[in-house]
Amino acid sequence: MKAFQLIPSIAEYADFGTLAKALKFGPADLILTNEYIYNPTIASLKLGCHTCFQEKYGAGEPTDVMVDAILNDLRDKDYDRIVAVGGGTVIDIAKVLSVAQPSDKVDDLYDRMASLEKEHPLIIVPTTCGTGSEVTNISIINRTTKGIKVGLVSPAMFADEAALVPAMLDSLPYPVFATSSIDAMVHAVESYLSPNACALSEMLSEKALQLILRGWKDAVASGSKDGWKQHAPEFLRASNFAGIAFGHAGCAAVHAMAYPLGGVHHIPHGQANQLMFADVMRKYQEKKPIGKINRLEELLAKELDVEPVFALEQLYTLMDAVLERGPLHAHGVTAEELPDFAHSVMQTQQRLLGNNYAVLTEEDLLAIYRAAY
Protein backbone atom coordinates (compact mmCIF):
# COMPACT_ATOMS: atom_id res chain seq x y z
CA MET A 1 0.00 0.00 0.00
CA LYS A 2 1.17 3.52 -0.77
CA ALA A 3 2.58 5.20 2.35
CA PHE A 4 0.60 8.18 3.63
CA GLN A 5 2.62 11.36 3.83
CA LEU A 6 1.94 15.06 4.29
CA ILE A 7 4.70 17.27 2.94
CA PRO A 8 3.61 20.93 3.21
CA SER A 9 3.39 22.40 6.66
CA ILE A 10 -0.12 23.76 7.25
CA ALA A 11 -0.92 26.81 9.37
CA GLU A 12 -3.93 29.07 9.93
CA TYR A 13 -3.62 32.85 10.21
CA ALA A 14 -6.16 35.46 11.26
CA ASP A 15 -5.47 37.68 8.24
CA PHE A 16 -2.90 38.27 5.50
CA GLY A 17 -1.01 40.85 7.55
CA THR A 18 -0.42 38.31 10.30
CA LEU A 19 0.82 35.82 7.70
CA ALA A 20 3.12 38.36 6.04
CA LYS A 21 4.65 39.31 9.39
CA ALA A 22 5.13 35.70 10.49
CA LEU A 23 6.87 34.68 7.24
CA LYS A 24 8.69 38.00 6.76
CA PHE A 25 7.48 38.78 3.24
CA GLY A 26 9.60 41.37 1.47
CA PRO A 27 11.55 42.38 -1.65
CA ALA A 28 12.92 38.87 -2.20
CA ASP A 29 9.40 37.47 -2.67
CA LEU A 30 7.09 37.28 -5.69
CA ILE A 31 3.36 37.44 -5.02
CA LEU A 32 1.36 35.75 -7.78
CA THR A 33 -2.29 36.70 -7.41
CA ASN A 34 -5.15 38.70 -8.97
CA GLU A 35 -5.52 42.46 -8.73
CA TYR A 36 -9.01 42.11 -7.26
CA ILE A 37 -7.44 40.12 -4.41
CA TYR A 38 -4.26 42.17 -4.07
CA ASN A 39 -5.72 45.69 -3.96
CA PRO A 40 -8.15 45.31 -1.03
CA THR A 41 -6.15 42.89 1.13
CA ILE A 42 -2.42 43.16 0.40
CA ALA A 43 -1.55 46.49 -1.25
CA SER A 44 -1.96 48.57 1.91
CA LEU A 45 0.61 46.42 3.74
CA LYS A 46 3.36 47.87 1.51
CA LEU A 47 5.42 44.69 1.63
CA GLY A 48 7.76 45.64 -1.22
CA CYS A 49 7.30 42.27 -2.91
CA HIS A 50 7.40 41.71 -6.65
CA THR A 51 3.90 41.15 -8.03
CA CYS A 52 2.43 39.25 -10.96
CA PHE A 53 -1.28 39.43 -11.73
CA GLN A 54 -2.56 36.28 -13.42
CA GLU A 55 -5.55 37.83 -15.20
CA LYS A 56 -3.26 39.99 -17.34
CA TYR A 57 -2.26 36.82 -19.16
CA GLY A 58 -5.70 35.38 -19.83
CA ALA A 59 -8.95 34.33 -18.20
CA GLY A 60 -10.10 30.95 -17.01
CA GLU A 61 -8.10 27.88 -16.16
CA PRO A 62 -4.35 27.78 -16.88
CA THR A 63 -3.14 27.09 -20.39
CA ASP A 64 0.35 26.55 -21.76
CA VAL A 65 0.06 29.89 -23.58
CA MET A 66 -0.78 31.73 -20.36
CA VAL A 67 2.00 30.11 -18.34
CA ASP A 68 4.60 30.59 -21.07
CA ALA A 69 3.77 34.30 -21.20
CA ILE A 70 4.19 34.61 -17.42
CA LEU A 71 7.49 32.71 -17.51
CA ASN A 72 8.72 35.03 -20.23
CA ASP A 73 7.86 38.17 -18.25
CA LEU A 74 9.50 36.86 -15.07
CA ARG A 75 12.83 35.91 -16.64
CA ASP A 76 14.52 39.18 -15.66
CA LYS A 77 12.98 39.48 -12.18
CA ASP A 78 15.18 38.63 -9.21
CA TYR A 79 13.11 36.83 -6.56
CA ASP A 80 13.44 33.87 -4.25
CA ARG A 81 10.14 32.70 -2.75
CA ILE A 82 6.85 32.51 -4.64
CA VAL A 83 3.72 33.38 -2.68
CA ALA A 84 0.59 32.18 -4.49
CA VAL A 85 -2.58 33.94 -3.32
CA GLY A 86 -5.66 32.84 -5.22
CA GLY A 87 -7.80 30.02 -6.50
CA GLY A 88 -6.92 26.97 -8.54
CA THR A 89 -5.58 28.84 -11.57
CA VAL A 90 -3.14 30.95 -9.56
CA ILE A 91 -2.05 27.97 -7.47
CA ASP A 92 -1.49 25.68 -10.47
CA ILE A 93 0.58 28.35 -12.21
CA ALA A 94 2.64 28.98 -9.08
CA LYS A 95 3.53 25.31 -8.84
CA VAL A 96 4.83 25.41 -12.40
CA LEU A 97 6.85 28.56 -11.68
CA SER A 98 8.37 26.93 -8.61
CA VAL A 99 10.09 24.24 -10.72
CA ALA A 100 10.83 26.28 -13.85
CA GLN A 101 14.32 27.37 -14.78
CA PRO A 102 14.77 30.80 -16.43
CA SER A 103 14.81 29.42 -19.99
CA ASP A 104 11.93 26.95 -19.58
CA LYS A 105 8.64 26.76 -21.39
CA VAL A 106 5.74 24.56 -20.28
CA ASP A 107 6.57 21.84 -22.82
CA ASP A 108 10.10 21.61 -21.41
CA LEU A 109 8.72 20.84 -17.97
CA TYR A 110 6.48 18.04 -19.24
CA ASP A 111 9.44 16.61 -21.17
CA ARG A 112 11.53 16.28 -18.01
CA MET A 113 8.76 15.74 -15.49
CA ALA A 114 10.56 12.84 -13.80
CA SER A 115 13.59 14.99 -12.93
CA LEU A 116 12.06 18.33 -11.96
CA GLU A 117 13.65 20.14 -9.03
CA LYS A 118 12.36 23.01 -6.93
CA GLU A 119 13.85 26.31 -8.08
CA HIS A 120 11.87 28.57 -5.71
CA PRO A 121 10.38 27.94 -2.26
CA LEU A 122 6.58 28.05 -2.51
CA ILE A 123 3.94 29.36 -0.10
CA ILE A 124 0.29 28.90 -1.08
CA VAL A 125 -2.65 30.91 0.29
CA PRO A 126 -5.95 29.56 -1.13
CA THR A 127 -8.73 32.10 -1.57
CA THR A 128 -11.46 29.61 -2.56
CA CYS A 129 -12.80 26.63 -0.65
CA GLY A 130 -12.49 23.88 -3.19
CA THR A 131 -9.27 23.17 -4.95
CA GLY A 132 -7.25 21.71 -2.07
CA SER A 133 -4.33 22.30 -4.41
CA GLU A 134 -2.30 23.94 -1.66
CA VAL A 135 -1.42 20.46 -0.37
CA THR A 136 -0.96 18.55 -3.63
CA ASN A 137 1.96 18.22 -6.05
CA ILE A 138 0.04 18.42 -9.30
CA SER A 139 -0.75 21.27 -11.68
CA ILE A 140 -3.41 20.84 -14.37
CA ILE A 141 -2.54 22.71 -17.56
CA ASN A 142 -4.59 22.90 -20.73
CA ARG A 143 -1.97 22.05 -23.35
CA THR A 144 -3.61 23.88 -26.23
CA THR A 145 -1.09 22.63 -28.78
CA LYS A 146 -2.11 19.06 -27.96
CA GLY A 147 -5.80 19.67 -27.28
CA ILE A 148 -5.80 18.08 -23.82
CA LYS A 149 -5.75 19.02 -20.14
CA VAL A 150 -3.09 16.99 -18.41
CA GLY A 151 -1.35 17.05 -15.05
CA LEU A 152 2.24 18.08 -14.43
CA VAL A 153 3.22 16.05 -11.37
CA SER A 154 6.38 16.12 -9.28
CA PRO A 155 7.39 15.86 -5.61
CA ALA A 156 9.25 19.13 -6.21
CA MET A 157 5.91 20.90 -6.73
CA PHE A 158 4.70 20.50 -3.15
CA ALA A 159 4.37 23.82 -1.35
CA ASP A 160 6.68 24.53 1.56
CA GLU A 161 3.71 25.92 3.48
CA ALA A 162 -0.04 25.93 2.95
CA ALA A 163 -1.38 29.00 4.75
CA LEU A 164 -5.11 28.99 5.54
CA VAL A 165 -6.56 32.47 6.01
CA PRO A 166 -10.38 32.31 6.29
CA ALA A 167 -10.62 36.10 5.99
CA MET A 168 -9.44 35.77 2.37
CA LEU A 169 -12.83 34.20 1.55
CA ASP A 170 -14.80 37.28 2.68
CA SER A 171 -15.25 38.70 -0.84
CA LEU A 172 -15.67 35.36 -2.61
CA PRO A 173 -18.65 35.61 -5.02
CA TYR A 174 -21.39 33.05 -4.48
CA PRO A 175 -20.90 31.26 -7.83
CA VAL A 176 -17.21 30.73 -7.02
CA PHE A 177 -18.10 29.47 -3.55
CA ALA A 178 -20.63 27.07 -5.07
CA THR A 179 -18.38 25.61 -7.76
CA SER A 180 -15.33 25.40 -5.50
CA SER A 181 -17.13 23.73 -2.59
CA ILE A 182 -18.64 21.23 -5.04
CA ASP A 183 -15.12 20.52 -6.27
CA ALA A 184 -14.03 19.83 -2.67
CA MET A 185 -16.99 17.51 -2.13
CA VAL A 186 -16.10 15.54 -5.27
CA HIS A 187 -12.48 15.33 -4.10
CA ALA A 188 -13.69 13.86 -0.81
CA VAL A 189 -15.99 11.29 -2.45
CA GLU A 190 -13.55 10.18 -5.14
CA SER A 191 -10.65 9.83 -2.71
CA TYR A 192 -12.89 7.94 -0.26
CA LEU A 193 -13.92 5.40 -2.92
CA SER A 194 -10.46 5.11 -4.46
CA PRO A 195 -8.75 1.72 -4.20
CA ASN A 196 -5.67 3.66 -3.04
CA ALA A 197 -7.42 5.05 0.06
CA CYS A 198 -6.04 4.22 3.49
CA ALA A 199 -7.41 4.72 6.99
CA LEU A 200 -5.90 8.21 7.31
CA SER A 201 -7.08 9.45 3.91
CA GLU A 202 -10.55 8.01 4.58
CA MET A 203 -10.71 9.89 7.89
CA LEU A 204 -9.90 13.15 6.10
CA SER A 205 -12.43 12.44 3.33
CA GLU A 206 -15.11 11.73 5.90
CA LYS A 207 -14.40 14.90 7.88
CA ALA A 208 -14.38 16.99 4.71
CA LEU A 209 -17.77 15.59 3.70
CA GLN A 210 -19.18 16.20 7.16
CA LEU A 211 -18.07 19.86 7.16
CA ILE A 212 -19.26 20.51 3.60
CA LEU A 213 -22.68 18.90 3.97
CA ARG A 214 -23.41 20.63 7.27
CA GLY A 215 -22.33 23.96 5.82
CA TRP A 216 -24.39 23.45 2.67
CA LYS A 217 -27.51 22.55 4.63
CA ASP A 218 -27.24 25.65 6.79
CA ALA A 219 -26.48 27.86 3.79
CA VAL A 220 -29.47 26.57 1.81
CA ALA A 221 -31.75 26.85 4.85
CA SER A 222 -30.69 30.47 5.41
CA GLY A 223 -32.12 31.50 2.04
CA SER A 224 -29.25 33.96 1.63
CA LYS A 225 -26.43 33.89 -0.89
CA ASP A 226 -24.14 34.93 1.97
CA GLY A 227 -25.38 32.22 4.31
CA TRP A 228 -22.32 30.07 3.68
CA LYS A 229 -19.96 32.74 5.02
CA GLN A 230 -20.67 31.90 8.66
CA HIS A 231 -19.04 28.55 7.85
CA ALA A 232 -16.12 29.94 5.82
CA PRO A 233 -13.42 28.51 8.14
CA GLU A 234 -15.06 25.09 7.99
CA PHE A 235 -15.33 25.15 4.19
CA LEU A 236 -11.67 26.17 3.92
CA ARG A 237 -10.61 23.35 6.24
CA ALA A 238 -12.82 20.88 4.37
CA SER A 239 -11.15 21.84 1.10
CA ASN A 240 -7.76 21.33 2.73
CA PHE A 241 -8.71 17.95 4.23
CA ALA A 242 -10.12 16.76 0.90
CA GLY A 243 -6.96 17.98 -0.84
CA ILE A 244 -4.80 15.91 1.48
CA ALA A 245 -7.07 12.90 0.91
CA PHE A 246 -7.03 13.04 -2.88
CA GLY A 247 -3.33 13.88 -2.85
CA HIS A 248 -2.88 10.40 -1.37
CA ALA A 249 -5.71 8.36 -2.93
CA GLY A 250 -6.34 10.27 -6.16
CA CYS A 251 -9.37 11.53 -8.02
CA ALA A 252 -11.13 9.38 -10.57
CA ALA A 253 -13.72 9.30 -13.37
CA VAL A 254 -15.66 12.42 -12.35
CA HIS A 255 -12.57 14.58 -12.75
CA ALA A 256 -11.37 12.71 -15.82
CA MET A 257 -14.69 13.21 -17.58
CA ALA A 258 -14.97 16.84 -16.47
CA TYR A 259 -11.70 17.84 -18.12
CA PRO A 260 -13.02 17.90 -21.73
CA LEU A 261 -15.93 20.07 -20.59
CA GLY A 262 -13.52 22.64 -19.20
CA GLY A 263 -10.98 22.34 -21.98
CA VAL A 264 -13.42 22.60 -24.88
CA HIS A 265 -16.34 24.59 -23.46
CA HIS A 266 -14.57 26.48 -20.65
CA ILE A 267 -17.05 25.30 -18.04
CA PRO A 268 -15.64 26.12 -14.56
CA HIS A 269 -13.89 23.11 -13.08
CA GLY A 270 -16.18 22.60 -10.08
CA GLN A 271 -19.28 22.99 -12.21
CA ALA A 272 -17.93 20.52 -14.77
CA ASN A 273 -17.44 18.05 -11.93
CA GLN A 274 -21.02 18.55 -10.83
CA LEU A 275 -22.27 17.90 -14.37
CA MET A 276 -20.59 14.48 -14.33
CA PHE A 277 -20.88 13.48 -10.68
CA ALA A 278 -24.37 11.99 -10.40
CA ASP A 279 -24.17 9.91 -13.56
CA VAL A 280 -20.72 8.56 -12.71
CA MET A 281 -22.01 7.52 -9.29
CA ARG A 282 -25.08 5.89 -10.84
CA LYS A 283 -22.85 3.92 -13.18
CA TYR A 284 -20.76 2.81 -10.19
CA GLN A 285 -23.94 1.62 -8.45
CA GLU A 286 -24.96 -0.27 -11.58
CA LYS A 287 -21.59 -1.99 -12.04
CA LYS A 288 -20.63 -2.59 -8.39
CA PRO A 289 -23.67 -2.16 -6.13
CA ILE A 290 -22.11 -4.02 -3.19
CA GLY A 291 -18.88 -2.61 -1.82
CA LYS A 292 -17.39 0.53 -0.38
CA ILE A 293 -20.07 2.65 -1.98
CA ASN A 294 -22.43 1.27 0.68
CA ARG A 295 -20.16 2.70 3.39
CA LEU A 296 -20.31 6.04 1.59
CA GLU A 297 -24.11 5.84 1.53
CA GLU A 298 -24.15 5.23 5.29
CA LEU A 299 -21.85 8.19 5.89
CA LEU A 300 -24.00 10.48 3.73
CA ALA A 301 -27.23 9.19 5.28
CA LYS A 302 -26.14 10.28 8.76
CA GLU A 303 -25.49 13.83 7.56
CA LEU A 304 -28.53 14.10 5.29
CA ASP A 305 -30.99 12.39 7.66
CA VAL A 306 -32.25 9.80 5.19
CA GLU A 307 -32.00 6.04 4.80
CA PRO A 308 -28.75 4.95 3.14
CA VAL A 309 -30.53 3.75 0.02
CA PHE A 310 -31.69 7.34 -0.62
CA ALA A 311 -28.49 9.09 0.45
CA LEU A 312 -26.85 9.69 -2.94
CA GLU A 313 -30.06 10.99 -4.53
CA GLN A 314 -30.49 13.32 -1.55
CA LEU A 315 -26.92 14.52 -2.09
CA TYR A 316 -27.68 15.34 -5.73
CA THR A 317 -30.74 17.33 -4.59
CA LEU A 318 -28.67 19.29 -2.08
CA MET A 319 -26.00 19.98 -4.71
CA ASP A 320 -28.67 21.34 -7.06
CA ALA A 321 -29.87 23.64 -4.27
CA VAL A 322 -26.31 24.98 -3.96
CA LEU A 323 -25.84 25.25 -7.75
CA GLU A 324 -28.43 24.21 -10.32
CA ARG A 325 -26.88 21.58 -12.55
CA GLY A 326 -28.75 21.37 -15.84
CA PRO A 327 -27.95 18.99 -18.72
CA LEU A 328 -24.73 19.09 -20.72
CA HIS A 329 -26.47 20.49 -23.79
CA ALA A 330 -27.51 23.54 -21.79
CA HIS A 331 -23.81 24.32 -21.41
CA GLY A 332 -23.04 24.19 -25.13
CA VAL A 333 -22.02 20.54 -25.39
CA THR A 334 -23.21 18.79 -28.57
CA ALA A 335 -24.23 15.16 -28.95
CA GLU A 336 -21.64 14.73 -31.69
CA GLU A 337 -18.84 15.56 -29.25
CA LEU A 338 -19.67 12.85 -26.75
CA PRO A 339 -17.94 9.88 -28.46
CA ASP A 340 -14.82 11.98 -28.95
CA PHE A 341 -14.86 13.00 -25.28
CA ALA A 342 -15.22 9.38 -24.15
CA HIS A 343 -12.38 8.25 -26.41
CA SER A 344 -10.13 11.12 -25.34
CA VAL A 345 -10.70 10.41 -21.64
CA MET A 346 -9.92 6.73 -22.12
CA GLN A 347 -6.74 7.53 -24.01
CA THR A 348 -5.36 10.40 -21.92
CA GLN A 349 -6.70 10.07 -18.36
CA GLN A 350 -5.60 6.61 -17.24
CA ARG A 351 -3.82 8.22 -14.28
CA LEU A 352 -7.25 9.13 -12.92
CA LEU A 353 -9.28 6.20 -14.25
CA GLY A 354 -7.00 3.85 -12.32
CA ASN A 355 -8.58 5.27 -9.15
CA ASN A 356 -12.15 4.36 -10.15
CA TYR A 357 -14.39 2.55 -7.68
CA ALA A 358 -15.49 0.24 -10.51
CA VAL A 359 -13.84 -0.48 -13.85
CA LEU A 360 -15.33 1.70 -16.59
CA THR A 361 -14.95 0.93 -20.30
CA GLU A 362 -15.04 3.49 -23.08
CA GLU A 363 -18.63 2.39 -23.71
CA ASP A 364 -19.42 3.12 -20.06
CA LEU A 365 -17.89 6.58 -20.34
CA LEU A 366 -19.98 7.31 -23.42
CA ALA A 367 -23.12 6.09 -21.63
CA ILE A 368 -22.35 8.42 -18.72
CA TYR A 369 -21.90 11.40 -21.05
CA ARG A 370 -25.17 10.57 -22.80
CA ALA A 371 -27.02 10.23 -19.49
CA ALA A 372 -25.73 13.67 -18.45
CA TYR A 373 -26.52 15.16 -21.85
Q: What is the pLDDT, as a whole number, of residue 234?
A: 97
Q: What is the pLDDT, as a whole number, of residue 243?
A: 95
Q: What is the pLDDT, as a whole number, of residue 145?
A: 83
Q: Can you say how many angstroms the Cα of residue 296 is from the centroid of all Cα atoms in its chain?
A: 21
Q: Which amino acid is at 20?
A: A
Residue 341: closest CA among 362, 313, 311, 371: 362
Q: Which residues, including other chains, have CB under 8 Å from residue 268's CB and lie 6 or more apart?
A: 175, 179, 262
Q: Determine the Cα–Cα distance for residues 248 and 164; give it in Å rounded to an integer.
A: 20
Cβ atoms of 312 and 297 within 8 Å: the answer is yes
Exposed e or buried b for every residue in 75-87, given b needs 16+ CB within 10 A?
A: eeeebebbbbbbb
Residue 9 bridge partners (DSSP): 161
Would you say the pTM of this structure is higher than 0.75?
yes
172-372 under CATH 1.20.1090.10, yes or no: yes
9-168 under CATH 3.40.50.1970, yes or no: yes
CA distance to 18, 148, 154, 178, per residue, from 151 (Å): 33, 10, 10, 24
Q: Which amino acid is at 182?
A: I
What string of pLDDT tens digits covers the 373 residues of the chain? 678 888 899 999 999 999 999 999 999 999 999 999 999 999 999 999 999 999 999 988 899 999 999 999 999 899 999 999 999 999 999 999 999 999 999 999 999 999 999 999 999 999 999 989 999 999 989 898 887 778 899 999 999 999 999 999 998 999 999 999 999 999 999 999 999 999 999 999 999 999 999 999 999 999 999 999 999 999 999 999 999 999 999 999 999 999 999 989 989 999 999 999 999 999 999 999 999 999 999 999 999 999 999 999 999 999 999 999 999 999 999 999 999 999 999 999 999 999 999 999 999 999 999 999 9
Domain residue spans in the chain?
A: 9-168, 172-372
Q: What is the pLDDT, as a whole number, of residue 3?
A: 83
Q: What is the pLDDT, as a whole number, of residue 5?
A: 84
